[in-house]
Structure 1
Amino acid sequence: MPAKKQITKEMILDAALQILMEHGIKAVNVKSVAAKLHCSTQPIYLSFDNMDALRQELVPAAVDKFTELMRQECGAEPVHLYGIEYVRFARQQPELFCFLFMRPQAFSEMKHVLCPIIEQSVTVLMEQYYIDHDAADELYDQLWIHAHGIATMITTKYCDWDMDKAERMLDRCQKALTKGYEA
């Protein structure tokens, strides 16, 4: 008789992330994770005190997946949250996007965990427009909020804009917002 496979915490988080990406956070529960792993619920309860603990550890796993997908989308370009890549991500991964960026009070949490990406982009804006950190950070937030609005409208199917229109809108917004900074 073959030995039973050992279910690890990482396997549980991976299964939960897959469920999240396919069906949304409401579908992530002990039974669905156990079914995905083809095991009983016992390994999940042994690895996590409760579902809140599992969901809390799901946030960094989801951020890692987001970062991985954004790096693939951006290629050689640096990852930032105000470009068409962010909107494409939202369209391609609506459940993951909603989990990361549309939860109540998620803005400050996501701004904190995505700090390396944000700071890199703020530095680029500082150099590009010869502005100080505070001004570049505010400009970054304005650009991100505009991209986020478009991404949210597309993800929630509020509108059915194509990517060409979204890209034109982002480009025009960036030009308008940065006009005052150009030397």
Structure 2
Amino acid sequence: MARKKTILKSHILDTAYDVVKTEGFEGFTARNIAKTMNCSTQPIYLEFKNMDDLKNELYSRIKEYLTETVFKNTRSEEPILNTCLNFIHFAKDEPIFFRALFLEDHLGPERMHDLPYEAMLTAFEQEAKTKALNKTEKRKTFEKIWISVYGTAALAAQDLITLDETTLVDDVEKMIKETVK
């Protein structure tokens, strides 16, 4: 009788996700993931061609988390403001994970930049001033807004700035109003 698999692909993916979330990509090695799972590296290489294959599947999991959890939080009644605040709070609340995803180049900067862009496009569709913009105008508006949001998030993730919620909301609202006219 053949042995039953005890370590499944989903277990490996869950562990890899948890490792990156808590240690960043410094911990994303087959040996470290296997150690965390109390097994050898063999199950990892039986389920994934190589670590890049695991990383690509991990990206899908991360995309789902950001799309369905981070960007779905309701912090404001204004969709654009909400998207901005969610990104900044993600950086502030999960700094190791934020740095691994958005400050280091492990999953591809364009691919990671597209995730908040897609969230912002959804927000743009919910606001009258931005809904009618064409694709190029939406991209330019996003880039103008995102320079400040990304900078604020990066500084918050590194504990280089401290903003109380009222100041943060006021500053981001002001920046959005200056950009979206």
Normalised by the length of structure 2, the TM-score is 0.80
1:64-143 equivalent positions in 2, closer than 5 A? 64-74=64-74, 82-104=83-105, 106-113=108-115, 116-125=118-127, 127-129=128-130, 130-143=132-145
Partner of 1:48: 48
Query: How far 1:76 moved relative to its partner?
Result: 9.3
Distance 1:77 1:115 in 2: 19
Please report how far the alpha carbon of residue 78 of structure 1 lies from its aligned counterpart in structure 2 after TM superposition.
Answer: 8.4
SS in structure 2 of the partner of residue 39 of structure 1: coil
Structure 1 unaligned residues grouped into runs of 5+: none
Taking structure 1 as the reference length, what is the TM-score of the superposition?
0.80
Kept in 2: contact 1:70–1:79 (CA 8 A): no
In 1, Cα distance between equivalents of 2:95 and 2:24: 9
- For 1:68 and 1:112, the matched residues in 2 are separated by 15
Aligned equivalents of 1:86 and 1:95: distance in 2? Answer: 14
Q: Percent identity of the aligned residues?
A: 23
Task: Please name the residue that 1:61 is paired with.
Answer: 61
Most deviating of 17-26 and 105-114: 105-114
Q: Which residues in structure 2 correspond to 1:144-163 (within 5 Å)?
A: 144-163=146-165
Question: 2: CA distance between counterparts of 1:113 and 1:149?
Answer: 16
State yes or no: 1:23 paired with 2:10. Answer: no
Given that 2:75 and 2:85 are in contact with CA atoms closer than 8 Å, whether structure 1 keeps it comes out as no
CA change 1:79–1:36 in 2 (3 A) is farther
Q: Which runs of 5+ in 2 are unaligned?
A: none
Whether the aligned pair in 1 keeps the contact of 2:19 and 2:33 (CA below 8 Å) is yes
Residue identity in the other structure for 1:103 = E
**How much does 1:164 deviate?**
2.9
Q: Distance in 1 between matches of 2:171 and 2:78?
A: 20
- The 3 A distance-change label for structure 1 pair 116 and 139 is closer
Distance 2:136 2:55 in 1: 33
Q: Number of aligned pairs?
A: 176
Contact 1:101–1:110 (CA<8 Å) still a contact in 2? yes
| Alpha-carbon distance in structure 2 between the residues aligned to 1:87 and 1:94 | 10
Q: How far apart are the structure 2 equivalents of 1:56 and 1:43?
A: 17
Q: Give the Cα–Cα distance (whole angstroms) in 1 for the partners of residues 162 and 123 of structure 2.
A: 29
Code of the residue aligned with 1:86 in structure 2: it is: F
Aligned to 2:178: 176
C-alpha deviation, 1:101, in angstroms: 1.7
